[in-house]
Amino acid sequence: MAASPFPRTVGVVGLGLMGASLARAVRAADPGVRLVAVEPREDVRAQALADGVADEARAAPDVALEACELAVLCTPVAAIEALLGPVSRLLPDGAVLTDVGGAKAHVVAAARASVRPGVAFVGAHPMFGGHGGYAGASAEKWKGGTVAVCTDAAPAEAPDAVERVVALHLALGARVERCTAAEHDAAVAMVSHLPYLVASALAVAAREAGPLAVRLAGPGLKDMTRLAAFPFDIQGEVARRNAGLPEAAARLERHLARLLAAIAESPEAARSALEAARAAREEIF
């Protein structure tokens, strides 16, 4: 029988949508893994134990994490940064600490300053999320998704740390993209954080356009502003940590100006520019 890709004990800090989905996915893939959860909400801890999502659930990081060979921080990014030091000090020597935060350079820098020697931090970012909290969690969430794993965070004395995190996400059914923290942030600024800001600006602009515009708003605007529904702690705190946003915004401004110029120039120029944009979307998706 092949060896399990999972450690015998895994810690999951935060049982919102991502943490509870991760715990459910690990449980489904290998029921023999012991799952230690940290979650401040008493009702969620009780539900997780009743559902079998966790074998042990604590209100705050404590000695229960001492058995975890791998721990995953599944909280909003500001909390991830605050937890790096305290959680690492509870983990055993040789353990790997990772996360699901959406801004990597900032978190990796914080980890270098606060994660204790003997514990390796590897930044990771599942490129899928959503709404729903614990109640919306699913063991299927990782399947078919993409996870970015940073290759420049783990210390030299733990050369296998990145591969241990890669193995976790592959075993849950995700595709893994290895990259540096800076490469991650530059790419995600364009495909995640800028869309969030654009959706937010569009929502405000549409409301500002007046009562008729609001009454006429349909599925197109709803789709375009979906990301604006995320709470600030989930997306805003992430976006403001991404140094790549100004460059991404400048790129968008150039292309928007080019499209507006084409529309003003002639029907032929407008058709050419917008058909090229449609082809670009089809290439991405």
What Cα–Cα distance (Å) separates residue 152 from each residue in 38, 80, 135, 159, 166?
Answer: 27, 18, 34, 11, 13
67 and 14 within one domain: yes
164 and 231 within one domain: no
Q: Given this model, what pLDDT does residue 153 score? A: 65
Q: Given this model, what pLDDT does residue 1 score? A: 42
> Is residue 4 in some structural domain?
no
Return the residue matching tokens 């709470």.
231
Residue 205, SS3? Answer: helix
Of 180, 215, 241, at which residue does a domain stop?
180
* Domain, as residue range, for 127: 9-180
Q: Are strands 146-150 and 175-179 parallel, antiparallel or unpaired?
A: parallel
> Is residue 278 in some structural domain?
yes
From the first residue on, what is the mean pLDDT of each consecutive set of 10 residues in the chain (285 residues)?
78 98 97 97 98 97 97 97 98 97 95 95 94 95 97 77 96 97 97 97 97 97 96 95 96 98 98 98 95
Of 152, 180, 208, at which residue does a domain stop?
180
Rounded to whole angstroms, the Cα distance separating 114 from 124 reads 17
Q: Given this model, what pLDDT does residue 3 score? A: 64
201 and 134 within one domain: no
Rounded to whole angstroms, the Cα distance separating 285 from 283 reads 6
145 and 117 within one domain: yes
> Is residue 2 in some structural domain?
no
Q: Are strands 56-58 and 146-150 parallel, antiparallel or unpaired?
A: unpaired
Q: Given this model, what pLDDT does residue 231 score? A: 94
> Is residue 239 in some structural domain?
yes
- pTM listed for this prediction: 0.93
151 and 113 within one domain: yes
240 and 165 within one domain: no
> Do 249 and 194 touch, CB atoms closer than 8 A?
yes
162 and 44 within one domain: yes
Bridge partners, residue 120, by sequence: 96
What CATH number does residue 140 fall under? Answer: 3.40.50.720
